[in-house]
Amino acid sequence: MKNWKKLLLLGFIGAIIGGSIGIYLWNKPVTSTSKLDAEVKVTATELFDAYTLDETASDATYLGKVLEVTGTLKEIRTTDNGKPALVLETNDALFGVLCEFEDEAVANALKPGATVVIKGICSGMLFDVVLNRCVIQSL
């Protein structure tokens, strides 16, 4: 009977520790992309073409990495979750490189046709190649 109580107590303590770690990791602040070094420097057209030719190989090269992408601003959008996004031109008439920003002031500072350098984390290709947590490096 005593062993059963000890096991129950150990399980309860383990659950509290595990829950505390989970809560900490869930609420841990994300490092700003501006403080991270770019692992790969590429143009918007090169990035999009690489994904169009071989998505699997491109995922191995770019997915989850911090990219510095240079391109011409095609369009300013708002994503489904309400965040500002910029689309960079590529050789494709319909799709491009979609850069999602956390800072809403970014969209107000730019006009289509501007050449920009953007740093963000690549999350792969849906229709556009998508970069998250983007920051503008230069205009």
The helix or strand, by DSSP H or E, that contains position 70, with its residue range, turns out to be strand 66-78
Model pLDDT, residue 42 = 93
CA distance linking residue 48 with residue 129, whole number of Å: 6
Model pLDDT, residue 45 = 92
Model pLDDT, residue 6 = 82
Model pLDDT, residue 18 = 86
CA distance linking residue 136 with residue 139, whole number of Å: 7
CA distance linking residue 61 with residue 4, whole number of Å: 52
Model pLDDT, residue 31 = 66
CATH architecture classification, 33-138: Beta Barrel (2.40)
Model pLDDT, residue 34 = 65
Domain ranges of the chain: 1-30, 33-138
Q: CB under 8 Å to 41, separation ≥6 — which residues?
A: 67, 68, 70
Model pLDDT, residue 36 = 77
Say if residue 124 is exposed, middle or buried (CB neighbours under 10 Å; 0-12, 13-18, 19+): middle
Of 14, 29, 28, 38, which Cα lies nearest the Cα of 134?
38
Model pLDDT, residue 24 = 79
- Which parts of the chain sit beneath pLDDT 50? none
Model pLDDT, residue 92 = 84
